[in-house]
Amino acid sequence: MAGNLRPLVAGNWKMNGLKASTEVLRAIINDYDAALAGRVDLLVCPPATLLTAFADLAQGHRVAIGAQDCHSELAGAFTGDISAEMIADAGAAAVIVGHSERRAGHGESDADICAKAKAAWRAGLLPIVCVGETRAQRDAGQTLAVVERQVAQSVPDTLPADVVIAYEPVWAIGTGLTPTTGDVAEVHGAIRRQLVARYGGQGESIRLLYGGSVKPSNAAELMAVEHVNGALVGGASLFAADFLAIARGCCG
Ligand code: 13P
């Protein structure tokens, strides 16, 4: 765990969850005891259809709710999209932008993602900007170049409010594969140096999450790596017990 930054464990539910899944959030809220809440922040990002119900349920509790994507515009003729303002209006506090499943499946560019991060701030949301290399890029020795380019171009030049960056190697997502702790340390260290060079002291306080096959069994090891300030969890975040076990793994 790096420095004094308070860890954040975020659950990305992707395209999973129905109204009945409210019970999972209820269990997370109930078991997020004071000892854990004193040490780690929790964020649950359900599909857009559940944002309002989840935000209503989490109201008055310390679990924050986030969305998985937003459009960069305020409003308009963008069928199927939702704006950052709509997400805030639903009661959410954060939004994931630039997930590799959006970059690859929806053709999102670094410039698109940068605009979405700015839209998140415009609406008072915390943007979580995702970066990460593909298997082919890692095999070609391009990991740091790819990740540094994504950070340079997806994270806006000025930071009017907080931002979180999630390093998610594409090949580790949903595969059960994880990089070695040495590989994670190399990438997170490089991102930290890049942020400090670009933003000065502000770059020290940006939380860097690791994501990709984080489970209760590997969370403590991954979270102990320098400059890892939390986790972005996919599949395991759908189960309250696993999600909370990962959060506990964050506490050292
Ligand atoms: P998994 O934890 O299922 O590998 O997914 C990671 C992810 O994509 C989180 O955004």
CATH number at residue 227: 3.20.20.70
In a domain, 221, yes or no: yes
How far, in Å, CA of 185 to CA of 197, rounded? 18
Distance between Cα 167 and ligand 1 center (Å): 11
For residue 1, pLDDT over 80 is answered with no
Residue written as tokens 């290399």? 133
Using pLDDT thresholds of 50, 70 and 90, give the confidence band for residue 250: confident
Q: Is residue 227 part of a domain?
A: yes
In a domain, 1, yes or no: no
- C-alpha 67 to ligand 1 mean position (Å): 15
Query: Is the pLDDT assigned to residue 208 strictly greater than 60?
Result: yes
172, 213 Cβ separation under 8 angstroms: yes
Side chain identity at residue 245, one-letter code: A
Residue 67 lies inside a defined structural domain of this protein: yes
Residue of 233, 238, 243 to test ligand 1 pocket, by largest number of atoms within 8 Å of CB: 233
Q: Which two tokens stand for residue 113?
A: 């993602």
Q: Specify the pLDDT at position 125.
A: 98
- The pLDDT score that the predictor gives to residue 95 is 99
Nearest-angstrom CA–CA distance, 227 and 206: 10
In a domain, 163, yes or no: yes
Q: Is 2 part of any domain?
A: no
- 0.85 exceeded by pTM: yes
pLDDT for residue 3: 59
Determine whether 106 is an active site residue: no
- 3-state secondary structure (DSSP) of residue 180: coil
Question: Is residue 3 situated within a structural domain?
Answer: no
User: Rounded to the nearest whole angstrom, what is the distance from the C-alpha of residue 144 to the centroid of ligand 1?
Assistant: 20
| Percentage of the chain exceeding pLDDT 70 | 98
Spell out which residues line ligand 1, taking CB within 6 angstroms. 12, 99, 168, 173-174, 211-214, 232-236
Residue 168 appears among annotated catalytic residues: yes
Predicted pLDDT at 4 = 81
Q: Indicate the average pLDDT of the chain.
A: 96
Residue-wise pLDDT for 68-80, tens only, equals 999 999 999 999 9
Catalytic entry in 101, 168, 188, 227 = 168
pLDDT tens digits along 122-181: 999 999 999 999 999 999 999 999 999 999 999 999 999 999 999 999 999 999 999 999
Q: Which atom of ligand 1 is nearest to the CA of 175?
A: 4
Query: What's the structural domain count of the chain?
Result: 1
pLDDT at 115: 98
pLDDT band with cut points at 50, 70 and 90 for residue 2: very low
Q: 35: domain range?
A: 8-249
Q: Probe ligand 1: pick from 95, 210, 232, max atoms within 8 Å of CB?
A: 232
Task: Round to whole Å and give the CA distance between 145 and 155.
Answer: 15
Crossing angle, helix 216-223 and helix 240-249, to 10 degrees? Answer: 20
Atom nearest to 14 CA in ligand 1: 10
